[in-house]
Structure 1
């Protein structure tokens, strides 16, 4: 049975991404749109629109045409949105490359996407050049300058004639991020202008938007979370987006204090620091009103711990909540509304901290029993399926993977297991592929990780299933990062867990590590842990 969003549908403007996102700048052209959190450089909304027009013109003058792919291999800077929207306004497709990628991974994406141009920075040129040797492109643009290559000033040149490209928002691609999807090797996710416009428009109903909204952008723009939620959503609001090229706790806290950040969109590892790191108490974070977590499951107790800590000395409380999405959903399908923006009939309802909130407008959901393929019974967990205007067009040159992910009726099978309550509020409990099967029980790693993080001597943790040769089943194994100065033992970890969870969920093995491997978006890289287990 399809479960519709409790919010009424919203209108999806039939516009290209730049037309929709940059429109807010016309009302406040002199207001800051982007600030470099390290250097303090500012781009106003009016300047942003002018720069985007120039980038589009100069890309066209360099021979790029509608549908051509431009790969972007850069950290977060105020110029990233300029480049993205310039590419989009030229009718081209931006394929963002993970800043941590090796030359081999970059080369794969360049070849698979058919990129004609690569835009990068000098710091990344060693890897970029090595990748281009394997998968050649027509041109490399080095934004901050390098001999023999075009640079940012070439993209902003005044001589190229302006271009107007006829874009069909429903059909034409705007970005081609790479994702492993629910399984397998990275695949190009084809997202149209309509996908991204829809996703920003869909979330607006849940936001208590204030005039001087300031958003800290430390999650990478190369990830769809950063690209849509931090960058495009923030700019479309007419807000100020303050960029940081990487996560450094001191820089992050100083930027919140200095620029009076009102909203932070983060991943759970940053919230672990908020809850446990002594540096937090040295900064004035009272401007923060909302912290929204995504990209990986957020534990209820962690969210409450952060709220409690940040409320000390603050005039008003900060709300810590979470949303849900994936690259193939542009990325948002569910999120927690700001106070006063609950759906009709749920006014005043407190969304549980462990949940991902409500399905956003124009979104349908199903919960399906993975073993039977039938809708789960009321109150039962099932694989979350989603249908709406934010669902991708498909995987590039991969009809088989597309058909395995999006069925003939348009339902995207997320691979995540969820449950919904009577108010229409969803909680994601784990991944279908990551559940540990033990004596007929399904054990969710995310649940055990949340319990482990409740130990004062545990700075971080991850759990996987490891094969048991005798039974042929899987046993939970914990990888634990000790808190500084801790001498926590393996036996102590197992004893702690045995007191907190049912017998079938007990941790059977413990390994201490220096850091839990995670993607740039904060997802635990379980495949890396399985490789060393």
Structure 2
């Protein structure tokens, strides 16, 4: 293994000048260099760069046959199958916008996103885990009608929707649904020259290529608009900061609809001719098998996944000697967990980081070789940039400052406040959310992150809390207001307040304080059961406390003091022996 300095220098030499490209153009260059190398490794099969290029070209031609036009929106609801990546690449080749959807969401949540994002086509898994998406999409589009051409559809609930394509891992066929293979066959009727013509007409690196939904301060998710150039600069910066070597193989079970896996996994490896190692759904046993079989070098994860792998009884039976690095993010991991990773996985380079969808992924990352104490208490330094940075941002891709969360006034170095940022990695705004755009992004491009923290004199960032109420469960954002609105519809509930509290395994978990209507009685089981058909599982509160109105802490203006509820929750959990 080359030294960190030598690996960084190789990346500097490879990109002396920043090449402004679309993701499709960037992938073309990667295929020229690494065509016979593996890009995607699964337990069933390996796919080379050349194979993924060939398949995505054919799928892109199929999309053109459907009439998908540049800048139109196409939703992608799929697990971590190679076909997810093929679809992503195909959409970039025709200048369309991908709307990746969270596979953990329930029917009503998916219905909202499909309508809000104005998609004209949907590519989806027939099933994933316990979710039968054929049935779910069938109910969302209950009036789906196939047009006489047998290709286009109409749907009263989603009037913009023209095409629905169903991917089945076992090649199942469904009536009235176009299959993934059907789309390939349609592509055979479109010439490569026609695809090339479209490619040349859509080579705009600053065009939006993804709308990625993230929870906001309201109960409704917001679609952050991401451009090709933003995502590529961010991924190159991550390569530099983590000193990613030629050919690195990165295992991750994190979903590709998340910016974490997409940026730090898939896009990163294309800069170095590496491979991603993944599977549709995580199990610790399969994770160990994949890392051993693929000779993985790197492990992208969140603390709960890292802990599950370390706790698996067969850990020592697997040869993981090729593994030398990990990046564990989304929520802070304690020192003992980092130390176990060092001792039991023999890792030499571990990284923590900070980021969000709106900044194209990780904007701060710790350095390879930082001690575990740093990774447990800090979230890194600004990512390196080299030629991808700009002078106006201090030759970086992004710059941060700390402001008073109430007045917006910039605070002196070393003081705690809200982080705000701007740069060539920062979103232009949220799709169809003019009010949120005005509230969260000022005229000079500074984005309010909603996170509280300190920027220390040594350049290390320390996160101390959130100025907004969103909390994260194993990397998934949860809006308390959304959960409150569901629970408040229960016929026995008078009022409810939801917040997040720390949890050593999942980062944070939800707590609900519920006041029942006079004379009513209820149980945790009843409330959880009521939520199950209305909220994704990770959004359902982990702890539920029934309370009286007199016990709820309000301000003089009638606003709930959630920080007081958090203190009470921690006290109750400690008393009950459930301290997180």
Partner residue of 2:41?
35
CA contact (8 A) 1:464 1:477 kept: no
Residues 287-436 of structure 1: pairs in structure 2 closer than 5 A: 287-311=322-346, 317-339=347-369, 351-360=374-383, 361=385, 362=396, 363-434=398-469
Structure-1-length-normalised TM-score: 0.77
Query: Is contact 2:98–2:210 with CA below 8 Å preserved after alignment?
Result: yes
| Structure-1 separation of matches of 2:59 and 2:124 | 15
CA separation in 2, counterparts of 1:476 and 1:61?
58
Give, in angstroms, the shift of residue 46 of structure 1: 1.0
- Where 1:407 maps in the other structure, the secondary structure is coil
Aligned to 2:453, what secondary structure does the other structure show?
strand
Which of 238, 241, 247 is the equivalent residue of 1:206?
A: 241
Shift of 1:475: 6.5
* Number of the residue aligned with 2:134: 125
Q: Which moved more, 1:147-156 or 1:192-201?
A: 147-156
Q: Is the 8 A contact 1:68 1:115 kept in 2?
A: yes
Q: CA RMSD in A?
A: 3.3
1:141 matches 2:165: yes
Q: Post-superposition shift, 1:10?
A: 8.3
Preserved contact between residue 208 and residue 225 of structure 2 (Cα < 8 Å): yes
The aligned runs of 1:255-294 (5 Å cut-off) are 255-294=290-329
Give the match's secondary structure for 1:384.
Answer: strand
Distance 2:271 2:138 in 1: 35
Q: Deviations over 1:104-131 (max 9, x none)?
A: 2121111111111111122221112222
Query: Who is 1:52 aligned against?
Result: 56
String of CA shifts for 1:439-483, please: whole Å, max 9, x gaps. xxxxx977x545xx6xxxxx98747596982754557779xxxxx
Corresponding residue of 1:25: 31
Q: Work out whether 1:216 is the aligned partner of 2:251.
A: yes
- Seen in structure 2, the aligned counterparts of structure 1 residues 184 and 21 have a Cα distance that, compared at 3 Å, is farther
Is the 8 Å Cα contact of residues 217 and 231 (structure 1) preserved in structure 2?
no
Q: Does 1:186 align with 2:195?
A: no
Distance (whole Å) between structure 2 residues aligned to residue 349 and residue 45 of structure 1: 36
SS at match of 2:84: helix
Structure 2 match to 1:491? none
Measure how far apart 1:254 and its partner are.
Answer: 1.3
Once residues 110 and 330 of structure 1 are traced to their aligned partners in structure 2, the CA distance between those partners, rounded to angstroms, is 22
The alpha-carbon deviation at position 252 of structure 1 amounts to 0.9
CA distance in 2, matches of 1:511, 1:34: 45
Against the structure 1 CA distance between its residues 103 and 350, is the aligned structure 2 distance closer, same or farther, given a 3 Å change threshold? Answer: closer
Of residues 178, 187, 194, the one that matches 1:150 is 178
- In 1, Cα distance between equivalents of 2:469 and 2:332: 13
1:469 matched to 2:551? The reply is: yes
* 1:190–1:512 distance in 2 versus 1, CA, 3 Å: farther
Q: Decide which of 66, 71, 76 is 1:67's aligned counterpart.
A: 71
Using CA pairs below 8 Å that are at least 6 residues apart, which structure has the higher relative contact order? Answer: 1
Contact 1:263 1:288 in 2 (8 A): yes
1-structure distance, mates of 2:563, 2:435: 33
Say which is worse superposed, 246-255 or 164-173, in terms of deviation: 164-173
1:509 partner SS: helix
**Structure holding more helix per residue:** 2
Does the Cα contact within 8 Å between 2:238 and 2:264 map onto a contact in 1?
Answer: no
The 2-side partners of 1:86 and 1:463 are apart by 38
CA contact (8 A) 2:122 2:163 kept: yes
Take 1:113 and 1:22, find their aligned partners in 2: how far apart are those partners?
Answer: 29
2:276 to 241, 246, 249: 241
Please tell me whether the aligned partners of residues 181 and 328 of structure 1 are also in contact (alpha carbons under 8 angstroms): no
Report the counterpart of residue 84 of structure 1 in structure 2. Answer: 88
- Provide closer, same or farther for how the CA distance between residues 369 and 460 of structure 1 changes in structure 2, counting only shifts above 3 A: closer
- Cα shift readout 1:46-65 (whole Å, capped 9, x = no counterpart): 11122222222221121110
Larger deviation, residues 396-405 vs 234-243:
234-243
Deviations 1:149-179 (A, max 9, x none): 3322333343312313323535421011111
Aligned counterpart, 2:208? 173
Distance 2:17 2:265 in 1: 21
1:365–1:73 CA distance, 2 compared to 1 (3 A): same
Distance, in Å, in 2 between the alignment partners of 1:412 and 1:32 is 38
Give the gaps of 5 or more residues in structure 1.
1-7, 312-316, 343-347, 437-443, 454-458, 479-503, 517-523, 525-533
* Contact kept in structure 1, 2:40 and 2:46, CA below 8 Å: yes
**Take 1:476 and 1:247, find their aligned partners in 2: how far apart are those partners?**
37
Kindly provide the CA deviation profile for residues 303-346 of structure 1, in whole angstroms up to 9, marking residues without a partner as x.
223222323xxxxx34332111111111221112334xx9xxxx
**Cα distance between partner residues in 2 of 1:72 and 1:412:** 27
CA distance in 1, matches of 2:167, 2:463: 40
Deviation string, structure 1 residues 202-244 (Cα, Å, up to 9, x no partner): 2232132333311113100111212222122223321111121
Change (3 A) 1:142 1:471: closer
Aligned positions, number: 456
In the aligned structure 1, how far is the partner of 2:575 from the partner of 2:273?
A: 46
State the secondary structure of the residue aligned to 2:551.
coil
Change (3 A) 1:387 1:11: farther
